[in-house]
Structure formats: C-alpha cells, structure tokens
Amino acid sequence: MQRKSNTLKYLCKLLYSTTPFCKHKNSCVMNMSRGLVEAFTKAFLAKLCLNAIMLVMSSKKIIKSQNKIKLVFQILINRTNFHLGLFMGTQTFLIKCIQCLLRTIRNKEDGWNAAISGFIAGGLSFITQKPHVQNILRVYLFARATECLYQIGIQRKYYNHRKANTAIAFILMTAVIAYGFFFEPDILPMDTFKMYENFSQQTLVDQIWHMCNVQQYRNRCNV
C-alpha cells in the first residue's frame, strides 16, 4: 500500500510540476499535451483549407464523376490531413518534452535546450512521414526558415526592411517555378508539377503540346 501511495504521489508531482526555467502557465505535462492537441488541430484545418481550394480547382473533374459525393470527401479529407496533423502535433509535443527534460538535467537555460530539442524532434517527426508529406513539410519549413534568416539579417542590420522585399522574393520564386514548369519540368518535384498542371486545367492535347515545347527547348540548348 505504501509503495502504491508513493507511486501516486510521484505521478501527481510529475503531472503538476514545472521546472524553474519554464515560463508556461500550466505544468510541463499539461503544456506538452495542450501543444500536441493545438498543433494537430491547426495543421489539420490548414490542410483542409488547402484541400478546399483544390476542390474548387477540380470542379470539372467532380462534375464528370459518377460518385460526386465520394470524390468530394476524398479531396477534402484524406490521409494527408491526419499525417500532417500528427507530424505537427508530435513535433510540438517532442520539442516541449525534450526542452523541459533538458532544463531539468542541465539545470540552466542558455538557448541550447531549444536548439537540441528542435533538432531531435524535427528529425524524428520528419523521417516517420511518407515522401509526399515530407515534400509539403519541406516547402513550409523552408519558407519559415528563410523568413527567420531574413529577420536575423534585419536585427543585425545587414540590410533594411522594406515592404516590397517579401513581394519581390515571392515574384522571383514564382518566376523560377514558372520557368521550370514550361521549359525544364525535370527540376520541379513531381507533385509541384502536377499541382500547376491542375491549376492550368490542361487537356490531353495541351499536355502533349507542352511536352513538345519542352523537348524543342532541350534540342535548342543541346545544339
């Protein structure tokens, strides 16, 4: 009985305890659990919104389909929604968990706890995903990482912030993707190529004409 009582006391202490370096309002365990649920929900809803856009783009395909309702649900809610939600939820949970654990072990907060927890949590979460989900994550995280580097440059006064900078960066990236789509599709990831193909609503004749133009461009470059 005493052993059970000690175990319960330890579990209660673990459930409601926090480290001296933590600034979150709730206990560490509650903070991890809340982070998991919130991250999963936000990622799931974000993917649902993107799927809704794809649903609008695929309206012609849906109208021609015999199972319209089934196709709508397949586009709106699929495994990728859950995979993306689980990735973000797991990553958030692991980051918070490892960070609190490192604060307890190292008994200090110097920035390394966050870096180490991000490295471990990001790696473990990423390698468990399928290739098409990994590509979505690469695109999203690359954009965020680029934004972080941009903000670091501003803070260290390497360059000045201008409102047009973000628009210019987006225009340049779009130009590179457009060039790849029309002239060198091999440089684009397959899902990116298919996404732009869906946006353009190309017929079979358009696709054949497109590939003929690509081959003609390659022949000119090889001359």
Rounded CA gap, 89 and 100, in Å?
17
**Of residues 218 and 20, which shows the higher confidence score?**
20
On whether the CB atoms of residues 30 and 21 are closer than 8 A, the answer is no
Q: CB 154: neighbour CB atoms within 10 A?
A: 12
Q: What pLDDT is recorded for position 7?
A: 64
On whether the CB atoms of residues 24 and 34 are closer than 8 A, the answer is no
Helices 190-200 and 163-182, packing angle to 10 deg: 90
Task: Reduce the DSSP state of residue 200 to 3 states and report it.
Answer: helix
Rounded CA gap, 172 and 55, in Å?
28
Q: What pLDDT is recorded for position 41?
A: 92
Rounded CA gap, 188 and 178, in Å?
10
Q: What pLDDT is recorded for position 59?
A: 77
> pLDDT category, 208, cuts 50, 70, 90?
low
Rounded CA gap, 48 and 195, in Å?
16
